């Protein structure tokens, strides 16, 4: 509920506070409506930066589950919106992360994972265009624009 999300927002540090939670699959229409509602609610509550990400989960009924990451403070170095290939550089949408440090940490791990690797981390915010347009555009008719 909004009161719960507002309480979570108020508990976070005003600078550098981050809320992360599981946020349904975009493959089920009723979930997609809720995903968009959460984005609106999080923004209205006062989160400055709200992003929906997606990961593949083979054991989940639709094979995909989403999550929200909401920041209490906007970072001007955060996301660059890519409208076409000419405006996108190599993973420039997430400049604020130190990918070399993430890759180095991954390479230095004593064991190896069977699933995670830095490219999966980067790509989790690359959504199908129709999902991104639905979640992040205002005034979309949820019944006719799917």
Span 42-73, pLDDT tens digits: 999 999 989 999 988 878 888 899 999 999 98
pLDDT number for residue 59: 83
**Contact by Cβ (8 Å): 66, 27:** no
pLDDT number for residue 83: 41
CA distance 90 to 35: 28
pLDDT number for residue 37: 93
pTM (2 d.p.): 0.67
Weakly modelled stretches of the chain, pLDDT under 70: 75-97, 139-146
Three-state DSSP at 146 gives: coil
Q: What is the strand order of the sheet 18-22 is part of?
A: 18-22, 64-71, 49-56
């Amino acid at each position: 509920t909004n009161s719960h999300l507002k309480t979570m927002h108020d508990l976070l540090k005003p600078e550098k506070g981050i809320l992360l939670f599981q946020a349904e699959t975009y493959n089920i229409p009723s979930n997609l409506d809720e995903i968009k509602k959460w984005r609106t609610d999080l923004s209205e509550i006062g989160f400055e930066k709200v992003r929906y990400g997606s990961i593949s989960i083979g054991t989940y009924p639709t094979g995909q589950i989403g999550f929200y990451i909401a920041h209490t403070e906007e970072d001007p170095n955060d996301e660059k919106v890519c409208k076409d290939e000419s405006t996108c550089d190599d993973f420039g949408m997430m400049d604020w992360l130190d990918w070399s440090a993430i890759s180095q940490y991954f390479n230095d791990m004593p064991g190896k994972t069977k699933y995670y690797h830095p490219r999966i981390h980067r790509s989790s915010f690359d959504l199908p265009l129709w999902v991104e347009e639905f979640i992040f555009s205002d005034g979309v008719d949820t019944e006719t624009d799917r």
